[in-house]
Structure 1
Amino acid sequence: MMPEAKTLSPYEPAYKRIKGFVLRRHHITKEDFMEIERKFLIKELPQNLDTYPCHIIEQGYLCTEPVMRIRRQDNDYIFTWKGSGMMSREEYNLPLNETAYLHLKEKTDGNFISKKRYVIPIENGLKIELDIFDAPFAPLMLAEVEFPSEEQANAFVPPAWFGEDVTFDGRYHNSYLSTVKL
């Protein structure tokens, strides 16, 4: 009996070409694109939140397997491809211009997500990215911390204002939130 063939996303060939082009053009390896992060719910907001840099983000998804996202962060536009995984996965970011972003925005599926992101520096050069979601996901608040290695990620002790660690709970991936029926 033959094994069942894996169903490919209609975007699979395109993302493989883009990924290959980026890697060859910039002489970089797959390891250069590993995103290692932990994600937490928030029990309470930190003091002096308004003293930290804040970005306005809106994002939508062209595809969720693999993740293909477009994002506007303030006046920057980015296309992102993310591989599979929970704490560690490949991530490739390509800049877009506003015209390309608006064109792709019309092609997104599901819920468009908007949020405020506060960037809070912590020890060892790390930073907390605290996302406060707008409707319809309010009052959801998530914090992400990116690490240079899995060892550092596993050793991280979160601040007291963090809640439950949801790193391995796919329900808190933005790509999943985009698919939730509201």
Structure 2
Amino acid sequence: MKEIERKFLVADQPDLTAAQATPVRQGYLTALEDSTELRLRQKGERFFLTQKGGSGRVREEREAEISPAVFETFWPGTMGRRVEKTRWTGALPDGQGYELDIFEGALAPLQMVEVEFSDEAAAEAFVPPSWFGHEVTEDKRFGNKSLAVHGLPSDPE
């Protein structure tokens, strides 16, 4: 399965009245230099194991829901490679969905927004709204795994 998305820093936080907030904690079982990511994620009361490959706008992604017990078994293996955030899920005026992540802990006050697309043409044609800031889709420093290991980049743009 392919994931096609674009990722941006947030210039101005939007009105989140109609958006839904979910606490997220995630950790990585693989090292930063590995070409494939293996991630554990707790999203609200649900738990997932995700494999991601590639980089940039189009990536391979496989995900399976797992039990809380399986999550807790492997969670200690992510020590030193974790992020915590609140994910706000909402819709842009044209109906396109977005996910706004507000990071916590050492990554605060970082905020990033992602938009997923059905195909590359839609991703290319997307015009971000004014509250979206600098695009970081191709900047590996803003991948969650890199943020979990290295923290915030010193020069975010």
TM-score by length of 1: 0.78
SS at match of 2:14: coil
User: 1 or 2, which has the higher strand percentage?
Assistant: 2
Please show how residues 1-182 of structure 1 align to structure 2 within 5 Å.
33-47=1-15, 49-63=16-30, 64=32, 65=34, 66-122=36-92, 125-180=95-150
Structure 1 gaps, min length 5? 1-32
1:100 CA displacement: 0.3
Moved more, 104-113 or 168-177: 104-113
Amino acid at match of 1:58: R
Contact 2:18–2:90 (Cα < 8 Å) also in 1:
no
Counterpart Cα distance in 1 of 2:91 and 2:133:
18
Count of residue pairs brought into register by the alignment = 149
Which structure 2 residue ranges, 5 or more long, are not aligned? 153-157
Contact 2:81/2:145 (8 A) holds in 1: no
Letter in 2 for 1:174: N
More helix by share: 1
**Residue in 1 aligned with 2:155?**
none
Q: TM-score of the superposition, structure 2-length normalised? A: 0.90
Q: Which has the higher contact order (CA 8 A, sep 6+)?
A: 2
Q: 1:181 to 1:42 in 2, by over 3 A?
A: closer
Which letter does structure 2 place at the counterpart of 1:72? Q
Give runs of ≥4 in structure 1 deviating > 6 Å.
Answer: none
Shift of 1:51: 3.0
Larger radius of gyration between Structure 1 and Structure 2: 1
